[in-house]
Amino acid sequence: MAFESGFSTGASYTAIPITPSDTVDIVGGPVRWVDVTGTGDIAFHDARGNTVTLSSVPAGYQIKCIVKRVLAIGTTATGFIGYP
């Protein structure tokens, strides 16, 4: 079956590198989940515009919610890859 939804539960066709920003949404986003490769805190906006902060996230963590923007202020983790 062909991939028909940007928010299906299937695999993504692509991966998007994410640069944290306090003013710009994820280019090519929003994304369905985000892989985090470097330990730290993460602040982001979810699909409804809520600001969410996760503390002390380990490397290899996955944010499994629709993310519009990873914020620069409040984020100390590194290496974000998003999957639309």
pTM confidence score: 0.85
Q: For the chain, what are the domain ranges?
A: 37-84
Q: What's the CA gap between 32 and 5, in Å, rounded? A: 11
At 13, is the pLDDT very low, low, confident or very high (cuts 50, 70, 90)? Answer: confident
Mean pLDDT, rounded, of the chain: 90
Residue-level pLDDT at 75: 98
Rounded to 5 degrees, what angle do the CA atoms 30, 3, 63 make? 35
pLDDT tens sequence across 17-27: 999 999 999 99
Query: Is the pLDDT assigned to residue 5 strictly greater than 60?
Result: no
